[in-house]
Amino acid sequence: MENQSEDILLVKTSETEYKYGFTTDVEQEYAEIGLSEDIVRFISAKKNEPEWMLEWRLKAYQQWLKMAEPDWAKLGFPKIDFQSIIYYAATKKKPKLNSLDEVDPEIRKTWDKLGISAMEQNKLGNVAMDFVMDSESVFTSFKEELNKKGIIFCSISEAIQEYGDLVKQYIGSVVPPRDNFYSALNSAVFSDGSFVYIPKGVRCPMELSTYFRINAENTGQFERTLIIADDDSYVSYLEGCTAPQRDENQLHAAVVELVAHDRAEIKYSTVQNWYPGDENGKGGVYNFVTKRGICQGYKSKISWTQVETGSAITWKYPSCILKGDYSIGEFYSVAVTNNYQQADTGTKMIHIGKNTRSRIVSKGISAGKSQNAYRGLVQIQPNADNSYNFSQCDSMLMGGDCGAHTFPYIEIKNQTGRVEHEASTSKIGEDQLFYCNQRGIGAEEAVHLIVNGFCKEVFKELPMEFAVEAQKLLEITLENSVG
Partner 1 sequence: MLEVKNLHARIEEKEILKGLNIKVNKGEVHAIMGPNGTGKSTFASILAGKDGYEITEGEILFEGQEISEMDPAERAHLGMFLAFQYPVEIPGVSTTNFMKAAINEKRKAHGQPPIEAKAFLEMMKAKSKIVELNKEFLTRSINEGFSGGEKKRNEIFQMAMLEPKLCVLDETDSGLDIDALRIVANGVNSLRNSENAFLVITHYQRLLDYIVPDFVHIMYDGKIVKTGDKLLALELEKKGYDWVKSELAQD
Residues contributing to the site for partner 1 (CB under 8 A): 1-5, 429-432, 434-443, 445, 449-450, 452-457
**Residue 105 Cα to chain centre, angstroms:** 27
Cα 87 from Cα 251, distance rounded (Å): 10
Which of 378/455 has CB closer to partner 1?
455
**Segments in 196-305 forming alpha helices (H):** none
Least Cβ distance, residue 1 to partner 1 (angstroms): 6
Which of 159/478 has CB closer to partner 1?
478
Residue 302 C-beta-side C-alpha neighbours within 13 Å:
33
Least Cβ distance, residue 441 to partner 1 (angstroms): 5
- List the one residue out of 132, 157, 129, 134 whose CA is nearest residue 145: 129
Confirm if 80 and 253 have CB atoms less than 8 A apart: no
**Segments in 67-153 forming alpha helices (H):** 105-114, 119-125, 143-148
Which of 70/442 has CB closer to partner 1?
442
Which of 386/437 has CB closer to partner 1?
437
Which of 184/455 has CB closer to partner 1?
455
Pairing status of strand 28-30 against strand 89-91: antiparallel
- List the one residue out of 265, 314, 310 whose CA is nearest residue 290: 314
Residue 107 C-beta-side C-alpha neighbours within 13 Å:
29
Least Cβ distance, residue 412 to partner 1 (angstroms): 30
Which of 288/454 has CB closer to partner 1?
454
Confirm if 289 and 253 have CB atoms less than 8 A apart: yes
Cα 210 from Cα 214, distance rounded (Å): 13
